[in-house]
């Protein structure tokens, strides 16, 4: 799920206009991802790759408290990011041309996720 | 190895009470991990998964200066985190319900590891 | 490609002498890597491992707009880092003995890459 629109609103409502924006996801079975946002096939291919690398129901895992997609979600989280830092200027993230920030859900059932945003201001 | 207790002491001894806490691990064969801390089986499953994905003694690797667990430790480090940033408030990390910060050792022999903690203060 | 020399020049030219240095790579098919810099075989082994884990031409992928090394580069980016934070003091990164910061290119053809450097000053 792309976060660019919502992050843009947060930045435009802040008194800090330039600096470093650090996102933190307060969960252990979802990730923050910065990757290509222009072609939806990219995130679908990422999903396919991670589903093959760490399949739901993987018999290696013993932690199954919440079902067959529980532990694979924790492993996918460990292989990706829980916190990312992106510079911003003029109240907009300084992302590359093809970059988008995504919330990446690893569980099968829908979950409500909380992301904290810390803005640290720079002089210019 | 969970770091929450030690990080709590660092935060309570700091004059900065709220803001962003950035941890940096000054090593190339261990990781900082933020993942589920309630059930010990989760970190054991992570260990099992990484031991299968990047096995000690993997014949693909040529760098073996320190033995069969040398290069696999570097790869596991590359697949995970050397620096993580977590917001804090009232001198406590603002982690999610199930989150814990771990030092994850990838070498077989015990090693002493150094983590630097940078606290950047926020107004609120 | 090791970045230590260039980062050293940036730090020595800054008025901020100590604090936190955050690097951000504005691309989706290359990574920032902190790993062993003493033996070149380490980065070559990393390259070998990632080439086997996410091979160019992998038939699982549908996004092939820029060729067989396009989507594998996005996956390798997702498995590694786009932003890293390293403390610095006396205008030098506080890296561990064996650590080096690398720009890791995942595409086959040469690309020009942009890295932004944000320095946040600390009192000491």
What ipTM was assigned to the predicted interfaces of this complex? 0.96
| Chain C nearest-CA residue for A36 | C28
Q: pLDDT of C50-102, one tens digit each?
A: 999 999 999 999 999 999 999 999 999 999 999 999 999 999 999 999 999 99
Q: Which chain A positions have a beta carbon within 8 Å of B87's beta carbon?
A: 22, 24, 116, 118
> For chain A, what is the mean pLDDT?
96
Q: Choose, out of C15, C24, C31, C67, the residue to mutate when testing the contact with A (most A CBs < 10 Å).
A: C24
pLDDT of residue C124: 46
Q: How far apart are CA A95 and CA B99, in angstroms?
A: 28
Q: Are A104 and A33 in contact (CB under 8 A)?
A: yes
In a 3-state reduction of DSSP, which class is residue C77? helix
For residue C36, pLDDT over 60 is answered with yes
DSSP C2: B
CB contact under 8 A, C41 and B60: no
Mean pLDDT computed over C28-50: 98
Q: Are C7 and C117 in contact (CB under 8 A)?
A: yes
Q: Which of B123, B39, B35, B27 is nearest to B78 (CA)?
A: B27
Does A24 touch chain B if contact means CB atoms closer than 8 Å?
A: yes
Q: What's the pLDDT band for B124 if we cut at 50, 70, 90?
A: very low
Mean pLDDT computed over B56-68: 96
How many Å is the Cα radius of gyration of chain A? 16
pLDDT of residue C122: 66
For residue C103, the tally of other CB atoms under 10 A from its CB is 17
For residue A101, pLDDT over 50 is answered with yes
For residue B122, pLDDT over 80 is answered with no
Q: How far apart are CA A31 and CA A34, in angstroms?
A: 10
For residue B76, pLDDT over 70 is answered with yes
Phi-psi region of B29 (alpha: psi -120 to 50; beta: other; left: phi over 0): alpha
For residue B123, pLDDT over 90 is answered with no
Mean pLDDT computed over A77-83: 98
For residue A72, pLDDT over 90 is answered with yes
Q: pLDDT of C5-34, one tens digit each?
A: 999 999 999 999 999 999 999 999 999 999
CB contact under 8 A, A39 and C63: yes
Provide the β-strand partners of residue B31.
B104
Q: pLDDT of B13-39, one tens digit each?
A: 999 999 999 999 999 999 999 999 999
Q: How far apart are CA C24 and CA A94, in angstroms?
A: 9
pLDDT of residue A122: 66
CB pairs under 8 A between A and B: 79
CB contact under 8 A, B79 and C80: yes
Q: Which chain A positions have a beta carbon within 8 Å of C77's beta carbon?
A: 35
Does B99 touch chain A if contact means CB atoms closer than 8 Å?
A: yes
The subunits that touch chain A, with at least 3 C-beta pairs less than 8 Å apart, are: B, C
| Chain A nearest-CA residue for C70 | A42
Does C62 touch chain A if contact means CB atoms closer than 8 Å?
A: yes
What are the φ and ψ backbone dihedral angles of C103, each rounded to 5 degrees? -90, 125
CB pairs under 8 A between B and C: 79
Q: Are B89 and B27 in contact (CB under 8 A)?
A: no
CB contact under 8 A, C49 and B26: no
pLDDT of residue A124: 46
> CB-CB: which of C22, C58, C79 is closest to A20?
C22
Does B27 touch chain C if contact means CB atoms closer than 8 Å?
A: yes
CB contact under 8 A, C120 and B116: no
- What is the model's pTM? 0.97
| Chain B nearest-CA residue for C84 | B83
By DSSP bridging, strand A30-36 and strand A99-105 are antiparallel
Mean pLDDT computed over A65-79: 97
Encoded tokens for B78: 């590359």
The dihedral of CA B50, B55, B61, B63: what is its sign?
positive
Q: How far apart are CA B57 and CA B68, in angstroms?
A: 4
Burial A19-46 (b: 16+ CB within 10 A, else e): bbbbbbbbbbbbbbbbbbbebebbbebb
Q: Which chain B positions have a beta carbon within 8 Å of A83's beta carbon?
A: 34, 84-86
The angle at the Cα of C55, spanning C65 to A83, to the nearest 5 degrees, equals 80
Does A120 touch chain B if contact means CB atoms closer than 8 Å?
A: yes
> For chain B, what is the mean pLDDT?
96
In a 3-state reduction of DSSP, which class is residue B59? coil
Q: pLDDT of A13-38, one tens digit each?
A: 999 999 999 999 999 999 999 999 99
Q: Which chain C positions have a beta carbon within 8 Å of A122's beta carbon?
A: 118, 120
Mean pLDDT computed over C105-123: 93
> For chain C, what is the mean pLDDT?
96
Encoded tokens for B76: 């596991």
């Amino acid at each position: 799920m792309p976060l660019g629109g919502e992050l843009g609103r947060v930045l435009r409502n802040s008194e800090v206009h330039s600096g470093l924006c650090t996102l933190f996801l307060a969960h252990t079975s979802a990730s923050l991802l910065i990757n290509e946002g222009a072609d939806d096939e990219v995130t679908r291919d990422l999903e396919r790759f991670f589903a093959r690398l760490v399949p739901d129901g993987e018999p290696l895992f013993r932690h199954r408290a919440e079902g067959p997609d529980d532990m694979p979600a924790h492993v996918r989280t460990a292989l990706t990011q829980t916190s990312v830092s992106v510079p911003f200027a003029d109240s907009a993230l300084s992302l590359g041309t093809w970059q988008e920030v995504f919330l990446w859900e690893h569980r099968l059932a829908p979950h409500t996720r909380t992301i904290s945003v810390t803005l640290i201001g720079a002089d210019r």
